[in-house]
Structure 1
Amino acid sequence: MAQLTTLNPASMRLVMESVPFLKQHGEKITTVFYQKLFSNHPELLNLFNQTHQKQKQQQKALAEMVMSAAMHLQNLEAIAPAITRIAHKHRSLDVKPEQYPIVGENLLAAIKEVLGEKATPEILNAWAEVYSFLADQFIRIETQLAEELLQQPGGWTGFREFVIDKKEKESDVITSFYLVPKDGKAICSFQPGQYISVKMDIPGEKITHIRQYSLSDSPSKPYYRISVKREDGNDQFPAGIVSTFLHNRIHEGDSLMISAPAGDFVLQEKENRPVVLISGGVGLTPLVSMLNTLAERRHDVPVTFIHAALNSRVHAMKDHLRNLAEQHDNIRYFVCYEQPSDEDRRLKNFDKEGYLDLDWLRSLIPSPEADFYFCGPVPFMKVVKSLLGQLGVKDTDMHYEIFGSAIPI
């Protein structure tokens, strides 16, 4: 991120002094903020995942981001990765510069409502200045990302119509969709690990829904592939509106509106440096893109792929992954099943039963000197990050992706 302009010192001081209030009331402030935003501007509902709203994920993530920004105003470079990550998502959602003042107005109103008399005019003015400053940074980065896309062959901004060329069941819960542009023109390349946004108008739904899905194949292909888990819901959470519609109602020949690839969780191809990919459940999708790319380009790089799943019935692309390992001497592949079926046991479909643990990872990973990429459910990633730390892996060598709202792990 480029060097940032210095803020007014007095405003910085007032905002930083409000950090204790943010820690105490942050989630309440963001909850009130979203209520006000959606009430005053329902046209913005489509930019936010309403399932994550119900689960309070976005409220928690926004509270963390606001507090982190307040704490690091004197050194915003410390949160530059988070700012870049959010800017990628905003570009993918086609967030417009004119929407930032709307967000700022409702955020300040929420701060005033929750903090009451503690939100003095001086504090509110300071927050307004800081928000405007941060909004300018986001707009600058998002504009730059959009311009870079347009300079690429086949690049575009906003949403473009693609056709389902093939729909392929990968497991009991995951299906792949192969997407080609309806206009027959070129598509831009992407970095392994990136995602696209899918925008859908679903019959019976009042708002347009937008979801991000990782690209699950290498960028050398003439299509984009997404591999979507059907979220059936349970007693706590409703079924996924978009994922169930894609699985049940979208077929070959149908069209989808998608954004160009985005995201900063990407494969960093370094000369001869080993790569370790660790996935849980549908978290394998961006890592399969990375693995396929490495299999095509880098036969000199040692690659270890470790996947954890409930059992083979929900394990997507298992034959493809095993075949890659058999065909390439530099690729090793290991599977951990939490609850293997009788057939899994009979066919020896897995290498470990139960959960990932320190001893097993230590036996598979000869050295902490490698680039580690991991993705999966948040509890899974917390465990993986902890285990890698115990193995001596540096934080700078750990790269991970969180599906949904970016709650720190």
Structure 2
Amino acid sequence: MLSPKSTDIVRATLPAVGGAIGEIAPLFYDKLFAAHPALLRDLFNRGNQASGTQQQALAGAIAAFATALVEHPETRPDAMLSRIAHKHVSLGIRPEQYQVVRLHLFEAIAEVLGDAVTEEVAAAWDEVYWLMANALIALEARLYEQAGTDGADGTAGAGVFRPYGVVSRLAETAEVTTFFVRPLDGGPLPAFRPGQYVSVQVELADGARQIRQYSLSGRPDDALQFSVKRVTGEPDGEVSHHLHDRVAAGDTLMISAPAGDVALDEGDGPVLLASAGIGCTPMTGMLAHLAATGSQRRVISVHADRSQATHAFRADLLQLTEKLPDAVAHIWYEEPEGDWPADRTGYADLSRIEVPAGTTAYLCGPLPFLRSARAQLLAAGVRAAAVHYEVFGPDMWLGADA
């Protein structure tokens, strides 16, 4: 909770800081990478930096956290903090790196806002920063401990990445490939919850060790399974192209412990799994878990794709749905091939589906799909707290419901 004095100052300066955060965030990253170029080479996603989406996500998170502190001082935006903490844990972020971030962030704030940043203003926003940073450090420490990824000396995040051997790979579509991997250290497979992801680190031709997150798309008994869609553009697609074109059975990948706060709950109420495009990967993992455990839950799967040919895990969706005693699948294609129902052509329309009372929904796909699906579910009577979403890349929706 902010001190009363800082609350007044932050409330008064929030419009100015919030209005300039879009300028502050890219300047912060420029300063950070100038001082620590290895962070851009080996930690931060170069594609997201080039597109500006990481800067926008940072700006949104800071503004949302500060707004929550002054408007709802009795509560903490734990949903937003959990999302960030899981991503940090999948990357091996360490507590001491928050001091580095603070240094360059406040340099950027001072440079953009100039004389408006008095000692009192700087102190108030420093309080905001450390409330957020310390909350994340505590959350991340618990996640590291739960995953057993602390170093031998107790260093948080020291053992996040393990070497895995690629057992095999399978082309799901022309654009999507699934990789099956096992630990090379002789240890057991890590535990994970359906819907979670792993970070995969690869060494590229220029020596950079870039990291990307991929959802666990199934539950084979003796391997981890993750699926990768080939992304177009440079540097956006540099890791997916490397995996598709250069990684084969027998190769080694560095892979993190599973992470992610959007995971299937173990209740017995109705569940709705809605996805678009490659968003089907975590949903397939959830559906596989439900089928493997003989779930009796009412399960409604919804998927939207360009066509049958681009729909990864199409056969899995149909087969897993058949295995469940009370499950149904609804599929929409924008450009269907052959005979296809007119009312299932185009974008997914969840308003046309009967959603049972008490449904918990999980969504994954592009942001426009998420917004549309969430709005339709809320209109159908699903509680906002029961709608969970996963978005690939920086979360541009952070803080919307914090």
TM value normalised by structure 1: 0.90
CA distance in 1, matches of 2:104, 2:202: 27
**What residue in structure 1 maps to residue 259 of structure 2?**
262
RCO higher in structure (CA 8 A, sep ≥6): 2
CA distance in 1, matches of 2:169, 2:342: 27
SS in 1 for 2:75: helix
Q: 2:367 is matched with which residue: 357, 364, 378?
A: 378
Q: Which amino acid aligns with 1:317?
A: F
Shift of 1:327: 3.0
Name stretches of at least 5 consecutive residues in structure 1 with no aligned partner.
1-5
Q: 1:396 is matched with which residue: 385, 389, 398?
A: 385
**CA RMSD across the alignment:** 2.1
Instruction: Say if 2:127 is the partner of 1:135.
Output: no
Q: Which amino acid aligns with 2:215?
A: S
Instruction: Say if 2:321 is the partner of 1:328.
Output: no
CA distance in 1, matches of 2:177, 2:323: 25
Shift of 1:203: 1.4
Shift of 1:263: 0.9
- Matched residue pairs, number? 389
**What residue in structure 1 maps to residue 154 of structure 2?**
none
CA distance in 2, matches of 1:84, 1:376: 20
Q: 2:52 is matched with which residue: 47, 52, 56?
A: 56
Aligned residues of 1:149 and 1:156 also touching (Cα < 8 A): no
Aligned residues of 1:334 and 1:350 also touching (Cα < 8 A): no
Shift of 1:390: 2.1
Shift of 1:87: 0.9
CA gap of 1:131–1:299, structure 2 versus 1, over 3 A, is closer
CA deviations 1:306-356 (Å, max 9, x no partner) are 11000011111111211122233322112100111xxx324x599711112
Q: Which amino acid aligns with 2:308?
A: S
**What residue in structure 1 maps to residue 153 of structure 2?**
none
**What residue in structure 2 maps to residue 210 of structure 1?**
211
CA gap of 1:9–1:240, structure 2 versus 1, over 3 A, is same
SS in 2 for 1:171: coil
Moved over 3 A (4+): 348-351
**What residue in structure 2 maps to residue 224 of structure 1?**
224
CA distance in 1, matches of 2:387, 2:275: 13
Instruction: Say if 2:346 is the partner of 1:354.
Output: yes
Q: 1:191 is matched with which residue: 162, 186, 193?
A: 193
CA deviations 1:178-222 (Å, max 9, x no partner) are 0101123212210111111111111124x320111111113x632
Aligned residues of 1:168 and 1:177 also touching (Cα < 8 A): yes
Structure 1 stretch displaced more, 71-80 or 249-258:
71-80
Aligned residues of 1:338 and 1:353 also touching (Cα < 8 A): yes
Aligned residues of 1:335 and 1:351 also touching (Cα < 8 A): no
CA distance in 1, matches of 2:52, 2:83: 20
**Structure 1 residues 162-177: aligned runs within 5 Å:** 162-177=164-179
Name stretches of at least 5 consecutive residues in structure 2 with no aligned partner.
151-156
Aligned residues of 1:149 and 1:157 also touching (Cα < 8 A): no
SS in 2 for 1:385: helix
Q: 1:291 is matched with which residue: 287, 292, 297?
A: 287
CA gap of 1:129–1:362, structure 2 versus 1, over 3 A, is closer
Aligned residues of 2:46 and 2:235 also touching (Cα < 8 A): no
Aligned residues of 2:303 and 2:348 also touching (Cα < 8 A): no
CA gap of 1:160–1:238, structure 2 versus 1, over 3 A, is closer
SS in 2 for 1:307: strand
Q: Percent identity?
A: 38
Aligned residues of 1:368 and 1:391 also touching (Cα < 8 A): no
CA deviations 1:90-110 (Å, max 9, x no partner) are 111001111110100111011
CA distance in 2, matches of 1:328, 1:148: 31
Structure 1 stretch displaced more, 29-38 or 327-336:
327-336
Aligned residues of 1:307 and 1:335 also touching (Cα < 8 A): yes
Structure 1 stretch displaced more, 166-175 or 291-300:
291-300
**What residue in structure 2 maps to residue 364 of structure 1?**
353
CA deviations 1:31-86 (Å, max 9, x no partner) are 11111111111122122111111221111111111111111225373411111111
SS in 1 for 2:160: coil
Aligned residues of 1:156 and 1:260 also touching (Cα < 8 A): no
Shift of 1:8: 3.0
CA gap of 1:120–1:395, structure 2 versus 1, over 3 A, is same
Q: Which amino acid aligns with 1:134?
A: M
